[in-house]
Amino acid sequence: MIAAPFKIPPNFSTGLPSLSSFVRSQLSASNLNPLAGILDPTIIGIDRSNPRGVEIWRIENFKPVPLPKSDYGRFYSGDSYVVLQTSGRAGAGGYTYDIHFWLGKDTSQDEAGVAAIKTVELDAILGGRAVQHRELQNHESDKFISYFKPCIIPLEGGVASGFKRPEEEEFETRLYTCKGKRVVHLKQVPFSRSVLNHDDVFILDTKEKIFQFNGANSNIQERAKALEVVQFLKDTYHEGTCNVAIVDDGKLQAEGDSGEFWVIFGGFAPIGKKVLSDDDVVPDKTQGKLYSIAGGKVADQIDEYTKASFENDKCYLMDCGSEVFVWVGRSTQVDDRKAATQAAEEFLSSNNRPKATLVTRLIQGYETHSFKSNFDSWPSSTAPSAENRGKVAENRGKVSGILDVAKQVDSGFVLVYSKYFIIRY
C-alpha cells in the first residue's frame, strides 16, 4: 500500500535535475524509503489509456528516448533499444505485455546494461507481469522479428557516432543475407564476392538496381521471403523507382542482369562453400535443468523439480539449451529481479554459450507455454483471481495518481520508487 504523501529531505541529491517544491510537497518520506531507483519521465509517461501494438525507446546518453514511429524497424548496430509489445484488449482477458531489450553488436556494455534495467522498470510500471526478452543483433527471436513487416533493417552506426538518417546519407551499396521461412532475418554482410555461397539467399542493394542472388541450394521459401524484402527496400529507400533483378546461382550470362551483377563484384569467379561462423551456431533444445539463484548468482542445480519447487520470494534459472528462462517469484523485489537477469548473462558467458541462445524472464503466474512444456504438468492455479486483479488495478491507479502529479512539473522531473511499487497478488 502507498502511504500518505511525504516530503523528500532538502539535502537529498540524485545527481539529476532537482524536483520542484510542488512535487516535493506531494511525495512522502516514510513508506517509499529507502529509495530503490529512478524512473525516467519517458518510461513513466507512457500512455496506457489505449495501449496497443509496438512502442520503442532508444537509449541515448543512458536515458530512454521515444523513437519516432517513422523509424520503427530500423535498428542501429551501435545502439540499444527497449521495445514494448501490448496485446489483448480491456476487459476480462486484459492486456498482455512483452518487453524486449535489443542490443546492437557494437553497443557499449553500459548502454546494454541501461536497456536491461529500463526493461525491469517498465515492467514495474505495467504491474510486474510482462514477459521480458533479451534480443541480440543477428540472433533475434522470431517473436520479435514478427512485429516488423517484412523484417527489421540493420543499420551501421549509432547515436554516439553521430549517425545520420538513411535518407540523409550518400547512398552506399550494401549486401545482405536473407534467412527465415516464416519471418525474415536480414543481416548486413561485407560487400565482397567471397561472402557469396551456394546455400543462402543474398540481396545486393545498389543505387540503381536491387539484385536478389539465389544460391543453388537455397530454400524456395527463403527466396519468396527475400522478394518481400526487395520490394520493401525499393519502396522505402528508392521511392519505388529502381529496377529489380533476380540472379540464379549457376546460370551465368554475360549479358543482362546476371552479367551486370558479377561486374559489380569485379567479374565472375567460382564461389566457395559456406564458411560457418559463430553467428551460424544454433543451439539445440535440451531437457530443462533447473538452478536456484541466490545472492545474484546461479547456485545449486535442483535435480528433481515440479511446479511446487518454485517459491514466490525467490528466483530460478532453467537452462533448456536453445533458451534460458529466468523465473522470478511475484514477491521478489526490483533489485532481486535485476540481479537475476544479470546472473543469467554471467551464466551464459561462463559456459561459452552461443550468441543465439535466447533469454526470457518470466513472472510467477504469467509463464509461457514454452516454459511450462518442460514439466509433466503445470496446474493453472497460480493465475491471479478476479478479486486480486481488482486489487492490482486499484494499486496501479494509486501509483498513477502520484505519477500524474509529477507530470505537472515544467522543468522536468525524476521520481523514485521502491519495493512498494511492485504489485503483489
Instruction: Please report the pLDDT score of residue 168 as a whole number.
Output: 57
DSSP string for 323-347: EEEEEE-TT--HHHHHHHHHHHHHH
Q: Kindly state the cell numbers that stand for 176.
A: 545482405
Buried b (16+ CB within 10 A) or exposed e, 257-289: bbebbbeebeeeeebeeeeeeebeeebeeeebb
Bridge partners of residue 103, in order along the sequence: 80, 136
The whole-number pLDDT of residue 197 equals: 94
Average pLDDT per block of 10 residues along the chain, 425 residues long: 37 32 31 39 58 88 91 94 88 83 94 91 88 94 93 86 57 90 91 93 95 94 95 92 92 81 90 80 90 93 93 96 95 90 92 92 93 88 48 48 38 32 31
Q: So what's the pLDDT on residue 157?
A: 87
User: Domains (ranges, CATH) in the chain?
Assistant: 170-280 (3.40.20.10), 283-383 (3.40.20.10)
What does the alpha-carbon distance between residue 180 and residue 279 come to, in Å, rounded to a whole number? 14
pLDDT of residue 254: 65
Whole-number pLDDT of residue 92: 58
